[in-house]
Amino acid sequence: MNHYTYYCPSCQKEFSKNFIEENLIYLCPACGKAERNKPLEGVLRIKYDYEKIRKSDFKSKIFNSLPGSIWNFPEILPLDFDYNKNVFPEIDFALLNTLTLSTNPIIKLKFENYNLYAFDDTRNPTFSYKDRASILVAFKAIQLGLNKISAASTGNAGSSIAGICARLGLEANIFVPKTIPESKRIQIQSYGANLFVVDGTYDDAFDLCLEVSSKKKWFNRNTAFNPLTIEGKKSAAYDIYILFRGKVPENIFVPAGDGVIIGGLYKGFLELFELKLIEKLPKLIAVQSSGSNAIVRYFKTKKFKFKSAETIADSICAAAPRNLFMAYEAIS
């Protein structure tokens, strides 16, 4: 039973999961574009039968679950699931337990008279928020019968998918810019991944990864290009909902580079709203470096103009945010 479909918010066309996944299609077949030094066009999204979910015991399931247990909710995951046997086909249940996320990612802080909360994912399997996307992508690869995954990264996403692949016995092929910090390079290599150092920027690594992966039929984890990266990162919205017992914060500040973390959070909160579990969306605020601020510039001008990016905050250094348009929607 197919409990989800793919759709394009740009041209409004909808596609079956079998058509998209069996043909390894990533962007919208009708209007999708992946052009050099430009945001992606036709980034696909996934939708579920929200009306059916609303009529189920979904809310009680959430409140009886710990944060980090997204696998308890197959009805909002783009993975095949056997409801009769209560299992994800091709995925050993023990693997889910070895790849659990932090059950208490919230740190309470005090600043002057304000109560602040930090979302801390450093206790995930590879110490990164990126594991939320990597685990989902890796499980989908297993269900599709694929054993080689590729990704372009400034470091964190690369080490994340490398570590997850090592745990699951998959091959990871990681494309990184020559400016990658040595500590991140070492972490990627320590997991046994094939590392390709590109003589250029992250944006160059992204484009080369697309080209090589297409030729070699590697399952591509490139952020936003693969819509499952957005789905994986939406899980933090559900964790926030669980931790705050349904009362989500009014304002959430999100570091933004390619725009997929903020896009994923936005998707998660949209689903919670669609399921009538929250009455309004929290305000998402993108935080960017002054040297890598394409999303901020687009927010002000409504036009994208490529400008080289440079910042010591290497994880959010992206001159051409691939998920720019969804990030803009999230903060508008």
Do the strands 171-177 and 194-198 form a parallel or antiparallel pair, or are they unpaired?
A: parallel
Give DSSP secondary structure letters for 144-209.
TT--EEEEE-SSHHHHHHHHHHHHHT-EEEEEEETT--HHHHHHHHHTT-EEEEESS-HHHHHHHH
Task: Provide the β-strand partners of residue 174.
Answer: 151, 195
Please report whether residue 181 resides in a domain: yes
Residue 156: which CATH number? 3.40.50.1100
Residue 30 to residue 156: CA distance in whole angstroms: 32
Please report whether residue 205 resides in a domain: yes
- pLDDT for position 232: 97
* Nearest CA among 246, 331, 326, 244 for reference residue 287: 331
- pLDDT for position 114: 87
| Residue in the block written with tokens 């494309």 | 175
Other CB atoms within a 10 A radius of the CB of residue 195 amount to 17
pLDDT < 50: residue spans in the chain:
none
Please report whether residue 186 resides in a domain: yes
Please report whether residue 158 resides in a domain: yes
Q: Position 185: which residue type?
A: R
- pLDDT for position 1: 61
- pLDDT for position 93: 83
Please report whether residue 202 resides in a domain: yes
For residue 127, give the DSSP letter. S
- Cα distances from 122 to residues 71, 136, 253, 279, in angstroms, run 20, 18, 18, 30
Instruction: Report the domain count for the chain.
Output: 1
Q: Please state the length of the chain.
A: 332
Please report whether residue 60 resides in a domain: no
Q: What is the pTM of this model?
A: 0.96
CB hemisphere CA count around 28 (13 angstroms): 19
Please report whether residue 18 resides in a domain: no
Range of the domain at 173: 131-226
For residue 311, give the DSSP letter. -
Residues with Cβ < 8 Å from 158, sequence gap 6 or more?
151, 152, 174, 175, 176, 184, 188, 193, 195
Please report whether residue 278 resides in a domain: no
